[in-house]
Amino acid sequence: MDTSTEPKIEKKQSLIREVIKYALFALVVVLPIRTWIAQPFVVSGGSMDNTFKDGQYLIVDEISYRFKDPERGDVLIFKYPEDTSKYFIKRLIGLPGEKVIVSNDSVVVMNESYPKGIALTENYTGSRTLGNTNVTLGEGEYFVMGDNRLVSLDSRVWGVLPKEDIIGRPVLRLLPVSQIGTFPGAVASSSMTAVPESDNN
């Protein structure tokens, strides 16, 4: 009896089993993680210079904002409200219930804590704040701006960002290798506000 083909058959069956095993792993583990927990995002354009450069590769946390609200200063990945097939990256400036006033070089936020307004200090910006915007945010509405204000298409142009369009925040920068790090672009919310002189008296 010729058994010369048996090892080849066993090898082929073993290969098929491995392929099935990895396919099942992808379906059970990788796909849910990619869909609901984290996914890759490639920066496109210069609206977030110098914080994020065109072509940088980020991993986006999609789960945190299901348990807590975004905070001022967070970098957000979201669906562009005027075309939800597109994804944008911007920084969160105004929160629900606040009034945001953009006037040339300044960004002022009014809220319950600062009814007369408080100017934001934004050391991450690579350009002057431009435009004249005065908007009061409703429930579930946010005001976002790019760090490179000269070229950023943001809430100054297309309006408020609805909460349901927010995808998540970058938690890891993988490329370029020289800038690998966690929570890229993160700033403390408290570092963005210049305390009014009257509060120091």
Is 116 annotated in the active site? no
- Catalytic option among 4, 8, 14, 47: 47
Instruction: State the Cα–Cα distance between residues 33 and 87, nearest whole angstrom.
Output: 19
Instruction: State the Cα–Cα distance between residues 95 and 107, nearest whole angstrom.
Output: 13
- Catalytic option among 85, 90, 113, 190: 90
Q: How many CB atoms lie within 10 A of CB 174?
A: 14
Q: Where are the beta strands (DSSP E) in the chain?
A: 38-42, 57-61, 75-80, 83-94, 99-103, 106-110, 118-119, 132-136, 141-145, 161-162, 166-175, 181-182
184 in Cβ contact with 170 (< 8 Å) = yes
Is 90 annotated in the active site? yes
Catalytic residues: 47, 90
